[in-house]
Amino acid sequence: MNLLFWRKDKDDARHEQLAAQLTAIQDGLANLSERLAADADEWQEISDQLAKLARLQYKSSQEITGRLADVDQRLAALAAAQAETVVREETLQSLAWQRQYLVDILLQQLDELDRACAGLNGETGAAWRELLTTWAERLVAALEAVGLYELNVTGQTFDPAVANAVGSIRRRQPTQGTVPYEVAEVVRRGFRDGAGRVVRKAEVITYQEGE
């Protein structure tokens, strides 16, 4: 009889021990579930933050790419503008050279006509002088068309700023009230530009003073 009670007590103790262990395991599982749930929430938050960061990085990358494309376009436009500017400068330089070349030819022809007129004498020479003078006037008009204007120095007081004296002559009939150091004759015409700057000084002969 006592043996049966002892066995029963022993079984009850084992049951209680197993129940306690089971309770501990259940509590551990519950704690583990809570931790897993907390970890899941934390991982979800981390995942959301990573997704947000990825979106921000993508947006930032798109903005940077767009800005780089805009910079590339501006650089290309600037390079094209610089190339066009170089072409324009070269064109302007070429046109300026061509203009100067034509001006030099016109001046040379005008000088030759003036020298030819100065060497003509007699009635036949007068007829040729009239023709050559007409041609010279046309050349002067052509020079005016490109912005060069003849300096009017005949009968004016000699001015070294606009003319070079290459000789002097006596007055045939000295009179009172004459212009001092008057330009008597133009040997080679002088010209100025539209701004009044002297492009070529005139070569002149003046009247002698004090005689």
Q: What 3-state class would DSSP assign to 19?
A: helix
User: Could you tell me what percent of the chain has a pLDDT over 90?
Assistant: 27
Where are the strands (E) in the chain, listed by range? 148-150, 163-169, 183-188, 191-193, 198-200, 202-207
User: Could you tell me what percent of the chain has a pLDDT over 70?
Assistant: 73
Banded pLDDT at 53 (limits 50, 70, 90): low
Per-residue pLDDT tens for 6-43? 555 566 666 677 777 777 777 777 776 777 677 666 66
State the pLDDT at residue 51: 66
Banded pLDDT at 121 (limits 50, 70, 90): confident
Q: In the chain, what are the domains?
A: 148-211 (2.30.22.10)
Q: What 3-state class would DSSP assign to 164?
A: strand
Contacts with 181 (C-beta within 8 Å, 6 or more apart), sequence order = 157, 158, 206, 207, 209
- If one compares 195 and 59, the residue with the highest pLDDT of the two is 195
The angle subtended at Cα 109 by Cα 104 and Cα 113, nearest 5°, is: 150
For the entire predicted model, the pTM comes to 0.58
Section 68-74 average pLDDT: 70
CA atoms within 13 A on the CB side of 101: 6
State the pLDDT at residue 208: 87
State the pLDDT at residue 65: 62
Q: What distance, in Å, lies between the first and last C-alpha atoms of the chain?
A: 180
- If one compares 81 and 139, the residue with the highest pLDDT of the two is 139
As to burial, measured by CB atoms within 10 angstroms (0-12 exposed, 13-18 middle, 19+ buried), residue 83 is exposed
Q: In whole angstroms, give the CA distance from residue 110 to residue 133.
A: 10
Task: Quote the distance between the C-alpha of residue 134 and its chain's center.
Answer: 46
State the pLDDT at residue 100: 87
Give phi and psi for 133, each to the nearest 5. -65, -40
Number of neighbouring beta carbons within 10 Å of residue 189: 22
Of 176, 97, 106, 158, residue with least CA distance to 137: 106
Q: In whole angstroms, give the CA distance from residue 202 to residue 164.
A: 6
